[in-house]
Structure 1
Amino acid sequence: MRTELIQEARRQAEICNACRYCEGYCSVFPSLHAERAFSDGDITQLANLCHNCRGCYYACQYTAPHEFDLNLPKALAEVRRDSWESFAWPQPLARCFHSHGGAIALALVVGFALIFWAIRAIGSTGGEGFYSVLSHNAMVLIFAPAFLLPLFSIGISLRRYWHAVGGQPIQLGDLKAALSRTAKMQDLAAGHGEGCNFEDEDRFSQARRHVHHAIMYGFLLCFASTSVATIMHYGFDLHAPYGFWSLPKLFGVTGGVLLTAGCYMMVRLKQKSDRNLGDVSAWGGEIGFILLLGFVALSGLVLYAFGSSAVMPALLAVHLGSVLALFLLTPYTKMAHGFYRVAALVRDAQRKRDVSVVR
C-alpha cells in the first residue's frame, strides 16, 4: 500500500482523536476513538468502515483554510481505494481499471457482445427462446468459470485484508451484526439517523441510503432469479423460457427495475456531490462501473420486452456481453467494495465484543 496515503490518513485520525467532536457521527469515530495509536492495519480498517457520508467534514472546524487542513472523507477514500488495489489478485488489473474504468468497461461490453454474436453465427444445437441463439450448455460453459473465478479472486483479496487488519476467527454473532447493519444500510443514516451529507453539503438526506438499497436489493433479486431458474432447470426438469408469473421472471423483472433506477440515481447523486471529498482519481472508474451495472439491468429488461422480436439475437448478444464483462471485472471495480464493507463491519463487531468482554 502507498505509504504517503496511510501517513496522511494517520495524521488526520490523530487530530480527530484529540478533538472527538464527531464521536457520535458514524461508525468510524467510535472505532477511531478506541485507539491511542494507529497502525497501518488500523487505518485500513477505518478506511473500509467509512461510508463517505461527509458529515464530519461539514461539522469540522479544522478544514481548510485552517492549518490542519482536515479532509478525513477524502483521506480515507484514498486509503480505501488503495487497499482494494493492493489486496486485489491479480493486482495490476485493479490499478488499471480505477485509472481507465469507463473505457475498459465499454471495450469489454463491445468485445464480448461481438464474441457472442460470432457464437450465434455458428449456431445452436436447438432450443426455445434464447436457447435458439445460444444453447444452455454453451451458456453454462461460458458463465460458470466467469462467475467462479472472480469469487476465487475476491476470496484471496479478503484473506489479505483480514490479515492486514488483525481479524480474529469469525463468530456467528459477528457475522449477524455485520449483515444486519448492511441490510439496513445503517451507516448511511449516519450517527443520528438523519441521513448523510453526500450530495448537498451540510443538508442531511436519506437519498444515498435509499439508492444503495435499490441497487443492493435489485442485484440480489436478479441473482435470486438466476438461482431459482437453475434449481428449476436441474432440480425439477423445468426448462426456460418461463412465464411472467414464474419466480425467475418476477424476481428478474423487479430486480432489473430496481437496479436500473438505482444506478441512474447514483450517477445523479455523484454528479451533484463534491468530488474533492472523495477519491478524485477513482471517480471515472466508479462512474464506469455504475454505468456498466445499470446497463446490464437495462439491457436485460429490454431483452425481456423484445424477446419475441427479430432483434432478439442482437439484444441477447449485447446483454450477455455486458453480464460477462461485469462478472470478470467484479474483483477490480467498486463491486468489490460490498465484500470489503461487510468484512470491515465484521471486524468492527469483533472490536465491540472485545470491549464488552473487557468491561
Structure 2
Amino acid sequence: MSLDVTLQTDPGAISSDPVAEARRQVEICNACRYCEGFCAVFPAITRQKVFADGDITQLANLCHNCRGCYYACQYTAPHAFDLNLPAALGAARAESWERFAWPGGLAALFQRRGTALAAALVLACALMFLAVAALPGGGEGFYAYLGHGAMVLIFLPAFLLPLAALGIGLRRYWSETGGGAVTLADIGAAARSAATLGNLGGGQGQGCNFEAEERFSDERRMAHHAVMWGFLLCFASTVSGTILHYAFASPAPYGFFSAPKLLGVPGGVLLTLGCAGMLVLKGKADPALGTPGRASGEWAFVWLLGGVGLSGLLLYGLRESVLTGPLLALHLGSVLTLFLLTPYSKMAHGFYRFAALLREAQAGRR
C-alpha cells in the first residue's frame, strides 16, 4: 500500500499554518493506526478519510496532550515524516481558541504575554481593592474591608461578561465542527469522560507520558483531578454562600462547619496542591511536545489558578490579623483577574474540551 502524503519540510510550518500541518500528520496517523487505542483522538481519526478544517479543530480539542502517541510512533524525527502529533494538535488547538475568542486578539496576546499580563492585572486589581477598602464603610468579617454591595457590583459583571464572551467562542466552535442538537445521552457521555479524565489514561488506564517520556504515569491525571475538583468545590462554596445570603438571610462570615467553609477549605487545598503538581510536571515535560509559542500563557494560567487557591487559604488562616486587608485585596484581585481572563487564558480549555467531548459523543452515535 502506498502512502500518498505531501511532506512539509518548512521548519516554520506548524506556527505559520497549524491546521495544515496537523492535517498532514493526522492523515499519516490514519494510514498507520498503530495508536488506535491510546485515546479518543485515534478512534475519531479512523472514522474519516478526509479531514476538513473543522475536523482538525475537533481532533485538536479532543487531544489532552498525554503524549503517549509520540513515544509509540515510528515516524518521529529523524524519519522523513517528522511526526510530532502532540505539538501539531497543540498548535491547532491554541489557534482555534485564539480564532474563536471574542473580542479577537486578546487570547493571542495572553498566550504569548500571559505572565506579564496576569501579574499586572492581579496587582492593579489588588490595588483597586485596597483603595476601596480605605473608603468609609462597615460590616463584619471581610465585609469590613469591602461591602457586600460593592463586591456584587464588581464581581457580577466580571463573571457574566466573560462567560458571554466565552459563549460566543463556543458557538463558533460548535458551528465549525458541525455539532448538532445536544441530547442528555451526549451530556452524560461527555460528563463521564470529563469526570474520570479517561483521555489521560493512555488507552489502557496506565497513565500518560507527559512528564516521564517512555514511562507511563498517572501523576498528571491526579493533578488534573485535584485542580478540577478543587475548583468545583470552591465554586460550590461561593454558590452556597450566595444561597445562604439571599435565600436564608444569613450573611457572612460563616463558621467552619458551614457549607461555604466545608466546601471552600478542601477545595482550596485541592486547587493549590493540584496546581503545584502541574507546575512540577510542566517543569519535567519536554517543551518540544507542547504548544509552540504559548508557554507564557500556560505557565501564567497555572500560577494564577494556584494563587487563587493559596491566597484564599492564607486569608482564612490569617483572618482577623494585620495581614487580613492585604491578603483580601490579593485574593480578590487574583479571583477577579481569573474571571476577566477566562475566555482568553487556558481556563477556556476546560470548556472547549467539554464541547469536544460532546461532539465526540454525537459522532460515536452515528
Q: TM exceeds 0.5?
A: yes
5 Å matches for 1:323-342?
A: 323-342=335-354
Q: Is this contact kept in 2: 1:123–1:134, CA < 8 A?
A: no
Match of 2:311 in 1: 299
CA shift at 1:278, angstroms? Answer: 1.1
- Report the Cα distance in structure 2 between the residues aligned to 1:132 and 1:3, rounded to whole angstroms: 53
Partner of 1:232: 244
- 2:10 matched residue in structure 1: none
Counterpart residue number, 2:185 = 173
Please, which of 1, 6, 15 is the counterpart of residue 28 of structure 2? Answer: 15
Following the alignment from structure 1 to structure 2, what is the Cα–Cα distance between the partners of residues 63 and 305? Answer: 50
* Structure 1 CA distance for aligned equivalents of residues 323 and 349 of structure 2: 36
Give 1:97's match in structure 2, choosing from 107, 110, 125. 110
C-alpha distance in structure 2 between counterparts of 1:11 and 1:23, whole Å: 17
2:275 is the counterpart of 1:275? no
Say yes or no: does 1:110 pair with 2:119: no
Deviation at 1:190, TM superposition (A): 2.0
Which AA in structure 2 matches 1:89?
W
Query: Residues 180, 279 of structure 1: CA spacing in aligned structure 2 closer, same or farther, 3 A cutoff?
Result: same
Structure 1 residue ranges without an equivalent (≥5): 355-359
Is the 1:2–1:82 contact (alpha carbons within 8 Å) kept by the matching residues of 2?
Answer: no
CA–CA distance in structure 2, aligned partners of residues 224 and 25 of structure 1: 34
User: Aligned-pair distance for 1:3?
Assistant: 7.0
Structure 1 segments (4+ residues) deviating >2 Å:
none
1:192 maps to amino acid: Q
SS at match of 2:28: helix
Q: Give the alignment of 1:1-359 within 5 angstroms.
A: 4-124=17-137, 126-354=138-366
Check the 8 A contact 2:122/2:333 in 1, yes or no.
Answer: yes
Q: Is the 8 A contact 1:167 1:347 kept in 2?
A: yes
Give per-residue Cα distances to partners, 1:216-260, cap 9 Å, x unaligned.
Answer: 000000000000000000000111100011110111110000000
Cα distance in 2 for residues equivalent to 1:148 and 1:141: 12
* Residue aligning to 1:357: none
CA distance in 2, matches of 1:2, 1:273: 20
1:158–1:144 CA distance, 2 compared to 1 (3 A): same
Q: Relative to 1, partners in 2 of residues 1:3 and 1:103: Cα closer, same or farther, differing over 3 Å?
A: closer
RMSD of equivalent CA atoms: 1.1
Q: Deviations over 1:100-159 (max 9, x none)?
A: 0000000001000000111111122x1101101110011001000000011101100000
Write the deviation string for residues 33-90 of structure 1: whole angstroms up to 9, x where unpaired: 1100100000000000001111110011100000000000100000000000000001
User: 2:35 aligns to what SS in structure 1?
Assistant: coil
Q: Distance in 2 between matches of 1:296 and 1:43?
A: 34
**Contact 2:90–2:292, Cα closer than 8 Å, also in 1:** no
Q: Tell me the SS of whatever aligns to 2:343.
A: helix
Per-residue deviation at 1:313? 1.1
- Name the amino acid aligned to 1:243: G
For structure 2, the 5+ residue unaligned runs are: 1-13
1:328 offset after TM fit, Å? 0.1
How far apart in 2 are the matches of 1:54 and 1:15?
A: 17
Q: Aligned partner of 2:41: which letter? A: V
Partner SS for 2:17: helix
- Where 1:122 maps in the other structure, the secondary structure is coil
Residue-by-residue CA offset, 1:324-358 (whole Å, 9 max, x unaligned): 0110001100100000000000000001101xxxx
Residue 207 of structure 1, CA deviation: 0.4
SS at match of 1:195: coil
Distance 1:317 1:55 in 2: 42
Paired AA for residue 183 in structure 1? A
- Matched residues in 2 for 1:109 and 1:161: separation? 30
Counterpart CA distance in 1 for 2:119 and 2:229 is 25
Hey, which of these two has a bigger chunk of helix by percent?
Answer: 1
Q: Distance in 1 between matches of 2:292 and 2:359?
A: 27
